[in-house]
Structure 1
Amino acid sequence: MSTRDESFLDRFRQPEYTGENRCLPCTATNTVIAVVLSVGVGVFFPPAGAAVFVASLAAIWLRGYLVPGTPELTKRYFPDWLLDLFGKAPQPGPEIAETDLDPEETLLELDAIEPHESDLRATPEFAEQWDAEIETVRRDTETHVANLLGLDEESVSLEARGNAYVITDDDVEVARWPSRAALLADLAAIPVLRERAGDWEELGRAEQGQLLAGLRVFLDTCPDCDGPLSFGQETVESCCRTAEVITYDCDDCGARVMEVQE
């Protein structure tokens, strides 16, 4: 394809709805609509029906959808069970998987947290060890990532992608966190928890992730910049759904340490 042709097509592309950002529910919905339209037209004039179908697929490929307002339609009318088929159902957080583990109970058993006044807090001993590990990890993050994930340090890369912090191995994404601060917190907590929990390696990745994410709410300062942390609430929107989330962010650098759907 010539540069001129690419320039012509670029006028119609919508990167926010195509490529890595393509929404499967929207694409599926519009493809069904394209089939119905094509069949309807083809009943009267088959060549026109075929032309409509090709043009519709081209529009979906370039723009992400055929019918204007499709993202709002899927968000409003698609039930959760249907969105779940496309991996779009509500999740407890961007990096947390549901398990049968009770993070609070487990962290209490490990003396990582303790009752304090009318709430819970990290135990002083655990907090001291955790803070020391955070300083160590902050100085050489890639080495700790490679060691903990069993990867070659030379092939590991850390990069920000939008609001997320991603780990890649030879350019293939292997894990992501909501921020570098969250990554530092988890990397630093692992050796401390491993020391206290004799069966740490026997836990599944999802259970380990749930424990680590639950522990982040007991941070007093941002692991990345040492700024103060505070809870908040906001509405998070994607092309297919809207969700209310509770956030735990750094007041100084804006890093998202934790996000949980209500």
Structure 2
Amino acid sequence: MSTLLDRIRRPATTGDDRCWPCTVANGVVLSLAIGLLTITGRRVAAALVALGGAAAIGLRGYLVPYTPRFAPRLVAALSLPVDPFDHGDERGRGSLSDAGVAAAGAGNGDGTGSETGDRDESRPAETETEPPSGEAVVTALIEAGAVVPAGDDLVLDNSFRTEWRREMMRLRGCDLDELAAAADELTESSIDARVGRNWRGRASTVRLEGEGPAGRTASLREAVAVAELAAARALESRIDNPAVRIAAGQPLRSLLAECPLCDGDLTVTRSTCCGEVTPISSTPPAKLACPDCDVRLFTYD
């Protein structure tokens, strides 16, 4: 019996990983089927369907075959104001450098920032709001010795890897409120960092919101927040410009070898999760993930 149950169970869509919108949707379908059978006088069949359907939803997370595949596309087509699948910024794409955060402290262009709003009038105003380019960030990381060339690739310098890991260990014990407070201190006043909540009202992310019509929002999962906040802190002794330090977190995440939360080995995978939409005939992008924590650290485009 246990072998049969093990074959039926779907750990990826049950337990802590259960997709509740899928469960609720399948529960509604099951209720309609039971109601229809009951109305037509087939009560025995209704009872059997109820037992079988409840068991399927309990063990597999869904009753209707391929729900995890078609439900996300259906939700995407409906353009709902919230993401019922609770995947945030495509699970791993949210970054401190989003929502205009990368421009924090770049007012004078010398890495010191400006708390009073004063700026060098000889410089164009755009330099105060434009984040550093990807090329500028990579150049700064190389010049600072944080990353070093290895053939055609870049890898973390051993000393910086140690410093970054030390900062991650300090932050991994923080809850989301403390991580949001750390992000709020790191970013400029026009960026509001707070705890983001999912559709169930539970704390799930560090949410960044930029002010004004040009302000954007970003949601960072705990692992991403720990990695990027720790990177910004580890770079303080190497890079003066705070805008570059903040923007560096995202590319540095792609070079991680261990999980910021558990120190487990990270793997590169193309597997998808419930709620992720992949266009038809397209290959899912590669992701850097921790299989032990079930968290995604980076999505390679």
- 1:144 maps to 167
Q: Are the aligned partners of 2:231 and 2:249 in contact in 1 as well (CA < 8 Å)? A: no
Q: Partners of 2:47 and 2:164 in 1: how far apart?
A: 55
Q: CA deviation at 1:39?
A: 0.7
Q: CA deviation at 1:123?
A: 5.3
What secondary structure sits across from 1:58 in the alignment?
A: helix
Instruction: Indicate whether 1:175 and 2:246 are aligned.
Output: no
Amino acid at match of 2:84: L
Q: Partners of 1:125 and 1:99 in 2: how far apart?
A: 15
Higher strand share goes to which structure? 1
Q: Are the aligned partners of 2:270 and 2:286 in contact in 1 as well (CA < 8 Å)? A: no
Task: Identify the match of residue 92 of structure 2 among 67, 70, 94.
Answer: 94
Greater RCO, CA 8 A, separation 6+: 2
Instruction: Indicate whether 1:85 and 2:84 are aligned.
Output: yes
Q: Partners of 2:97 and 2:163 in 1: how far apart?
A: 31
Instruction: Indicate whether 1:13 and 2:9 are aligned.
Output: yes
Amino acid at match of 1:51: L
What secondary structure sits across from 2:136 in the alignment?
A: strand
Task: Identify the match of residue 235 of structure 2 among 181, 192, 199.
Answer: 192
Q: Are the aligned partners of 2:73 and 2:277 in contact in 1 as well (CA < 8 Å)? A: no
Q: Partners of 2:104 and 2:285 in 1: how far apart?
A: 22
Instruction: Indicate whether 1:135 and 2:133 are aligned.
Output: no
**How far does the alpha carbon of each residue in 1:134-185 deviate from its partner, in whole angstroms, 9 at most, with x for none?**
533534766433324566xxxxxxxxxxxxxxxxxxxxxx93249xxx94x7
Over 3 Å counting, the alpha-carbon distance change for 1:125 and 1:175 in structure 2 is closer
Instruction: Indicate whether 1:62 and 2:64 are aligned.
Output: no
Q: Partners of 2:250 and 2:70 in 1: how far apart?
A: 34
How many pairs are equivalent?
202
- 2:34 maps to 38
Q: CA deviation at 1:129?
A: 5.6
Higher helix share goes to which structure? 1
- Unpaired runs of 5+ residues, structure 2, are 112-130, 149-155, 175-220, 259-268, 289-295
- 2:292 maps to none
**How far does the alpha carbon of each residue in 1:7-57 deviate from its partner, in whole angstroms, 9 at most, with x for none?**
332232223332233222321221111100111111214454233222211
Residues 199-218 of structure 1 correspond to what in structure 2 (within 5 A)? Answer: 211-214=247-250, 216=252
Q: Partners of 2:20 and 2:159 in 1: how far apart?
A: 42
Q: Partners of 1:37 and 1:248 in 2: how far apart?
A: 39
- 1:259 maps to 299
Q: Partners of 2:232 and 2:81 in 1: how far apart?
A: 37
What secondary structure sits across from 1:242 in the alignment?
A: coil
Amino acid at match of 2:80: W
Per the normalisation by structure 1, the TM-score is: 0.54
Over 3 Å counting, the alpha-carbon distance change for 1:125 and 1:94 in structure 2 is closer
Q: Are the aligned partners of 1:92 and 1:260 in contact in 2 as well (CA < 8 Å)? A: no
Instruction: Indicate whether 1:50 and 2:47 are aligned.
Output: yes
CA RMSD of aligned residues (A): 4.8
